[in-house]
Structure 1
Protein backbone atom coordinates (compact mmCIF):
# COMPACT_ATOMS: atom_id res chain seq x y z
CA UNK A 1 0.00 0.00 0.00
CA UNK A 2 1.28 3.43 -0.86
CA UNK A 3 1.71 6.03 1.86
CA UNK A 4 -1.55 8.00 2.04
CA UNK A 5 -1.95 11.74 1.71
CA UNK A 6 -2.87 13.40 5.02
CA UNK A 7 -6.58 13.77 5.77
CA UNK A 8 -8.01 17.28 5.75
CA UNK A 9 -9.63 18.18 9.07
CA UNK A 10 -11.85 21.16 9.81
CA UNK A 11 -14.20 22.26 12.59
CA UNK A 12 -17.78 21.09 11.99
CA UNK A 13 -19.05 22.17 15.43
CA UNK A 14 -18.25 22.95 19.05
CA UNK A 15 -20.71 22.09 21.81
CA UNK A 16 -20.42 22.92 25.49
CA UNK A 17 -21.63 19.76 27.24
CA UNK A 18 -20.75 20.23 30.89
CA UNK A 19 -18.42 21.60 33.44
CA UNK A 20 -17.83 22.72 36.97
CA UNK A 21 -16.04 25.49 38.80
CA UNK A 22 -12.65 24.38 37.50
CA UNK A 23 -13.12 23.21 33.92
CA UNK A 24 -15.58 23.04 31.05
CA UNK A 25 -16.14 20.06 28.78
CA UNK A 26 -16.70 20.46 25.05
CA UNK A 27 -17.41 18.10 22.20
CA UNK A 28 -15.51 19.06 19.07
CA UNK A 29 -16.98 17.81 15.83
CA UNK A 30 -14.17 17.41 13.34
CA UNK A 31 -14.91 16.90 9.65
CA UNK A 32 -12.36 14.44 8.26
CA UNK A 33 -11.95 14.46 4.47
CA UNK A 34 -10.03 11.72 2.69
CA UNK A 35 -8.21 13.01 -0.42
CA UNK A 36 -6.99 9.49 -1.29
CA UNK A 37 -8.37 7.14 -3.91
CA UNK A 38 -8.68 4.40 -1.26
CA UNK A 39 -10.40 4.08 2.12
CA UNK A 40 -8.39 5.61 4.99
CA UNK A 41 -8.58 3.87 8.36
CA UNK A 42 -7.72 6.26 11.19
CA UNK A 43 -6.94 4.67 14.55
CA UNK A 44 -6.58 7.90 16.51
CA UNK A 45 -5.34 11.46 16.46
CA UNK A 46 -3.55 14.15 18.42
CA UNK A 47 -4.81 17.70 17.94
CA UNK A 48 -4.44 21.31 18.99
CA UNK A 49 -7.10 23.93 18.36
CA UNK A 50 -6.27 27.64 18.41
CA UNK A 51 -9.03 30.25 18.40
CA UNK A 52 -8.18 33.85 17.67
CA UNK A 53 -4.47 33.05 17.66
CA UNK A 54 -4.53 31.59 21.18
CA UNK A 55 -4.40 27.93 22.19
CA UNK A 56 -7.93 26.86 23.07
CA UNK A 57 -7.66 23.10 23.65
CA UNK A 58 -5.34 20.19 22.98
CA UNK A 59 -6.28 16.57 23.08
CA UNK A 60 -6.17 13.14 21.63
CA UNK A 61 -8.61 10.47 20.61
CA UNK A 62 -8.32 6.73 20.22
CA UNK A 63 -11.53 6.47 18.19
CA UNK A 64 -11.25 4.52 14.97
CA UNK A 65 -12.99 5.67 11.83
CA UNK A 66 -12.74 4.54 8.24
CA UNK A 67 -13.23 7.41 5.81
CA UNK A 68 -14.30 6.21 2.39
CA UNK A 69 -12.15 7.03 -0.62
CA UNK A 70 -12.58 10.67 -1.65
CA UNK A 71 -15.22 10.98 1.09
CA UNK A 72 -15.68 12.58 4.49
CA UNK A 73 -16.95 11.74 7.95
CA UNK A 74 -17.44 13.57 11.24
CA UNK A 75 -15.46 12.53 14.30
CA UNK A 76 -16.52 13.72 17.76
CA UNK A 77 -13.75 14.22 20.34
CA UNK A 78 -13.84 15.44 23.93
CA UNK A 79 -11.99 18.60 24.90
CA UNK A 80 -11.49 20.27 28.26
CA UNK A 81 -10.52 23.82 29.18
CA UNK A 82 -10.01 25.49 32.54
CA UNK A 83 -12.90 27.83 33.34
CA UNK A 84 -10.64 30.85 33.87
CA UNK A 85 -9.03 30.36 30.44
CA UNK A 86 -12.42 29.96 28.81
CA UNK A 87 -13.70 33.22 30.30
CA UNK A 88 -10.54 35.08 29.31
CA UNK A 89 -10.74 33.82 25.73
CA UNK A 90 -14.50 34.31 25.42
CA UNK A 91 -14.12 37.98 26.36
CA UNK A 92 -11.34 38.48 23.83
CA UNK A 93 -13.30 36.75 21.05
CA UNK A 94 -16.72 38.23 21.78
CA UNK A 95 -15.99 41.41 19.82
CA UNK A 96 -17.08 40.00 16.45
CA UNK A 97 -19.23 37.06 15.50
CA UNK A 98 -16.53 34.94 13.86
CA UNK A 99 -13.13 33.90 15.07
CA UNK A 100 -10.20 32.55 13.07
CA UNK A 101 -9.11 29.05 14.02
CA UNK A 102 -6.18 26.79 13.35
CA UNK A 103 -6.44 23.03 13.80
CA UNK A 104 -3.14 21.13 13.78
CA UNK A 105 -2.04 17.66 14.75
CA UNK A 106 -1.37 14.15 13.55
CA UNK A 107 -3.73 11.44 12.37
CA UNK A 108 -2.69 7.87 13.18
CA UNK A 109 -3.33 5.49 10.28
CA UNK A 110 -4.43 1.91 10.93
CA UNK A 111 -1.86 -0.52 12.24
CA UNK A 112 0.87 0.85 9.98
CA UNK A 113 2.02 3.37 12.57
CA UNK A 114 2.00 6.16 9.98
CA UNK A 115 1.50 9.59 11.47
CA UNK A 116 0.04 12.01 8.98
CA UNK A 117 0.27 15.68 9.98
CA UNK A 118 -2.62 18.04 9.33
CA UNK A 119 -2.86 21.83 9.52
CA UNK A 120 -6.05 23.72 8.71
CA UNK A 121 -6.98 27.38 9.06
CA UNK A 122 -10.49 28.76 8.82
CA UNK A 123 -13.16 30.81 10.59
CA UNK A 124 -15.72 29.60 13.11
CA UNK A 125 -19.03 31.30 13.92
CA UNK A 126 -19.27 31.82 17.70
CA UNK A 127 -23.07 32.12 17.74
CA UNK A 128 -23.49 28.78 19.60
CA UNK A 129 -21.19 30.06 22.36
CA UNK A 130 -22.94 33.44 22.69
CA UNK A 131 -24.38 32.61 26.09
CA UNK A 132 -20.84 32.79 27.53
CA UNK A 133 -20.78 36.56 26.89
CA UNK A 134 -23.10 37.29 29.80
CA UNK A 135 -21.10 35.24 32.29
CA UNK A 136 -18.97 37.29 34.66
CA UNK A 137 -16.72 35.69 37.23
CA UNK A 138 -16.15 38.91 39.18
CA UNK A 139 -18.08 42.18 39.17
CA UNK A 140 -16.66 44.48 36.52
CA UNK A 141 -14.67 41.71 34.83
Structure 2
Protein backbone atom coordinates (compact mmCIF):
# COMPACT_ATOMS: atom_id res chain seq x y z
CA UNK A 1 0.00 0.00 0.00
CA UNK A 2 2.85 2.36 0.83
CA UNK A 3 4.39 1.78 -2.63
CA UNK A 4 1.09 2.64 -4.22
CA UNK A 5 0.99 5.94 -2.28
CA UNK A 6 4.54 6.82 -3.41
CA UNK A 7 3.62 5.96 -6.99
CA UNK A 8 0.55 8.23 -6.87
CA UNK A 9 2.59 11.07 -5.33
CA UNK A 10 5.31 10.68 -7.96
CA UNK A 11 2.68 10.69 -10.73
CA UNK A 12 1.04 13.83 -9.29
CA UNK A 13 4.41 15.61 -9.05
CA UNK A 14 5.15 14.70 -12.67
CA UNK A 15 1.77 15.99 -13.85
CA UNK A 16 2.10 19.22 -11.88
CA UNK A 17 5.56 19.82 -13.32
CA UNK A 18 4.14 19.34 -16.82
CA UNK A 19 1.26 21.74 -16.18
CA UNK A 20 3.69 24.30 -14.80
CA UNK A 21 5.46 24.53 -18.13
CA UNK A 22 2.12 25.09 -19.89
CA UNK A 23 1.43 28.07 -17.63
CA UNK A 24 4.95 29.45 -17.89
CA UNK A 25 5.12 33.21 -18.29
CA UNK A 26 6.17 34.15 -21.84
CA UNK A 27 9.21 36.30 -22.60
CA UNK A 28 8.48 40.03 -22.84
CA UNK A 29 7.87 41.46 -26.31
CA UNK A 30 10.64 43.59 -27.79
CA UNK A 31 9.43 47.07 -28.71
CA UNK A 32 11.20 49.66 -30.80
CA UNK A 33 10.25 53.02 -32.19
CA UNK A 34 9.23 52.75 -35.86
CA UNK A 35 8.00 56.30 -36.46
CA UNK A 36 6.63 59.54 -35.05
CA UNK A 37 4.20 61.60 -37.14
CA UNK A 38 2.70 64.98 -36.26
CA UNK A 39 -1.05 64.72 -36.98
CA UNK A 40 -2.38 68.02 -35.66
CA UNK A 41 -1.43 70.87 -33.44
CA UNK A 42 -2.43 74.20 -32.04
CA UNK A 43 -0.95 76.77 -29.70
CA UNK A 44 -1.33 74.58 -26.62
CA UNK A 45 -1.00 70.97 -27.74
CA UNK A 46 0.34 68.75 -30.54
CA UNK A 47 -1.14 65.40 -31.53
CA UNK A 48 1.36 62.74 -32.66
CA UNK A 49 0.94 59.24 -34.01
CA UNK A 50 3.66 56.97 -32.64
CA UNK A 51 4.37 53.70 -34.44
CA UNK A 52 5.81 50.93 -32.31
CA UNK A 53 7.36 47.77 -33.76
CA UNK A 54 6.34 44.92 -31.44
CA UNK A 55 8.37 41.71 -31.84
CA UNK A 56 7.44 38.38 -30.29
CA UNK A 57 10.53 36.34 -29.29
CA UNK A 58 8.35 33.41 -28.12
CA UNK A 59 7.54 30.19 -29.90
CA UNK A 60 3.85 30.74 -29.13
CA UNK A 61 1.49 33.52 -30.28
CA UNK A 62 1.43 36.52 -27.91
CA UNK A 63 -2.07 38.00 -27.38
CA UNK A 64 -1.39 41.57 -26.22
CA UNK A 65 -4.48 43.37 -24.95
CA UNK A 66 -2.87 46.61 -23.81
CA UNK A 67 0.32 48.64 -23.48
CA UNK A 68 1.56 51.21 -21.00
CA UNK A 69 4.55 53.13 -22.35
CA UNK A 70 6.91 56.05 -21.79
CA UNK A 71 9.07 57.61 -24.50
CA UNK A 72 12.09 59.68 -23.52
CA UNK A 73 14.08 61.65 -26.08
CA UNK A 74 17.54 62.98 -25.27
CA UNK A 75 17.09 61.98 -21.64
CA UNK A 76 13.83 63.90 -21.17
CA UNK A 77 10.31 62.52 -21.05
CA UNK A 78 8.59 63.21 -24.37
CA UNK A 79 5.32 61.39 -23.84
CA UNK A 80 3.75 58.66 -21.78
CA UNK A 81 0.48 56.90 -22.30
CA UNK A 82 -1.45 53.70 -22.60
CA UNK A 83 -3.64 51.90 -25.06
CA UNK A 84 -6.10 49.04 -24.82
CA UNK A 85 -5.63 48.20 -28.49
CA UNK A 86 -5.57 44.40 -28.78
CA UNK A 87 -3.18 42.68 -31.17
CA UNK A 88 -1.92 39.12 -31.41
CA UNK A 89 1.71 38.87 -32.45
CA UNK A 90 2.30 35.53 -34.14
CA UNK A 91 5.16 33.38 -32.86
CA UNK A 92 8.60 34.72 -33.81
CA UNK A 93 7.00 37.57 -35.78
CA UNK A 94 6.34 41.30 -35.41
CA UNK A 95 3.57 43.85 -35.95
CA UNK A 96 3.25 47.62 -36.00
CA UNK A 97 1.08 49.15 -33.28
CA UNK A 98 0.00 52.77 -33.60
CA UNK A 99 -0.70 54.85 -30.50
CA UNK A 100 -1.84 58.45 -30.14
CA UNK A 101 0.27 60.84 -28.10
CA UNK A 102 -0.41 64.40 -27.01
CA UNK A 103 2.37 66.84 -26.12
CA UNK A 104 2.08 70.36 -24.77
CA UNK A 105 3.81 73.02 -26.87
CA UNK A 106 6.08 74.15 -24.02
CA UNK A 107 7.29 70.56 -23.47
CA UNK A 108 7.87 70.13 -27.21
CA UNK A 109 9.98 73.29 -27.38
CA UNK A 110 12.10 72.07 -24.45
CA UNK A 111 12.60 68.76 -26.31
CA UNK A 112 13.71 70.48 -29.51
CA UNK A 113 16.23 72.55 -27.56
CA UNK A 114 17.65 69.43 -25.87
CA UNK A 115 18.04 67.39 -29.08
CA UNK A 116 21.44 66.12 -30.06
CA UNK A 117 24.04 68.32 -31.64
CA UNK A 118 25.55 65.58 -33.81
CA UNK A 119 22.55 64.84 -36.02
CA UNK A 120 21.35 62.09 -33.68
CA UNK A 121 18.93 62.02 -30.76
CA UNK A 122 18.92 59.12 -28.30
CA UNK A 123 15.58 57.70 -27.20
CA UNK A 124 14.36 55.26 -24.58
CA UNK A 125 11.07 53.37 -24.85
CA UNK A 126 9.95 51.61 -21.68
CA UNK A 127 6.77 50.25 -20.18
CA UNK A 128 4.81 47.05 -19.94
CA UNK A 129 2.59 44.91 -22.14
CA UNK A 130 -0.54 43.23 -20.80
CA UNK A 131 -0.75 39.71 -22.20
CA UNK A 132 -3.47 37.08 -22.35
CA UNK A 133 -6.56 36.61 -20.26
CA UNK A 134 -4.40 36.58 -17.12
CA UNK A 135 -3.14 40.12 -17.92
CA UNK A 136 0.46 39.15 -17.28
CA UNK A 137 2.54 42.31 -17.13
CA UNK A 138 5.62 41.90 -19.28
CA UNK A 139 8.07 44.82 -18.95
CA UNK A 140 10.05 46.21 -21.88
CA UNK A 141 12.89 48.72 -22.09
CA UNK A 142 14.61 49.66 -25.33
CA UNK A 143 17.08 52.37 -26.33
CA UNK A 144 18.02 53.64 -29.76
CA UNK A 145 18.76 56.75 -31.80
CA UNK A 146 16.84 59.01 -34.18
CA UNK A 147 18.62 60.29 -37.26
CA UNK A 148 17.84 64.01 -37.35
CA UNK A 149 19.46 64.83 -40.70
CA UNK A 150 16.16 64.55 -42.65
CA UNK A 151 14.58 66.97 -40.16
CA UNK A 152 17.46 69.43 -40.55
CA UNK A 153 17.02 69.44 -44.33
CA UNK A 154 13.40 70.59 -44.04
CA UNK A 155 13.51 74.37 -44.52
CA UNK A 156 17.13 74.48 -43.41
CA UNK A 157 16.22 73.80 -39.77
CA UNK A 158 19.29 73.73 -37.52
CA UNK A 159 19.02 72.20 -34.07
CA UNK A 160 22.28 73.51 -32.59
On whether the aligned pair clears a TM of 0.5, the verdict is: yes
Unaligned runs of 5+ in 2: 1-22
Matched, 1:50 2:72: yes
Residue in 2 that maps onto 1:125: 147
Superposition TM-score, scaled by structure 2 size: 0.78
Deviation per CA, 1:19-74, whole angstroms, max 9, x where unpaired?
11111111110000000000001000100000001111000011001101011011
Distance 1:86 1:132, change over 3 A: farther
Unaligned runs of 5+ in 1: 135-141
Distance 1:94 1:123, change over 3 A: closer
Higher strand share goes to which structure? 1
What is the distance in 2 between the residues matched to 1:132 and 1:80?
A: 24
Matched, 1:93 2:119: no
RMSD over aligned CA atoms reads 1.9
The answer to whether the 8 A contact 2:39-2:47 is kept is yes
Higher relative contact order (CA 8 A, sep 6+): 1
Q: CA deviation at 1:132?
A: 9.4
SS in 2 for 1:76: strand
Show the 5 A alignment for 1:109-120. Answer: 109-120=131-142
Deviation per CA, 1:93-140, whole angstroms, max 9, x where unpaired?
163322111100010002112000000011122356555985xxxxxx
The answer to whether the 8 A contact 1:67-1:73 is kept is yes
Larger-Rg structure: 2
Residue in 2 that maps onto 1:39: 61
Superposition TM-score, scaled by structure 1 size: 0.88
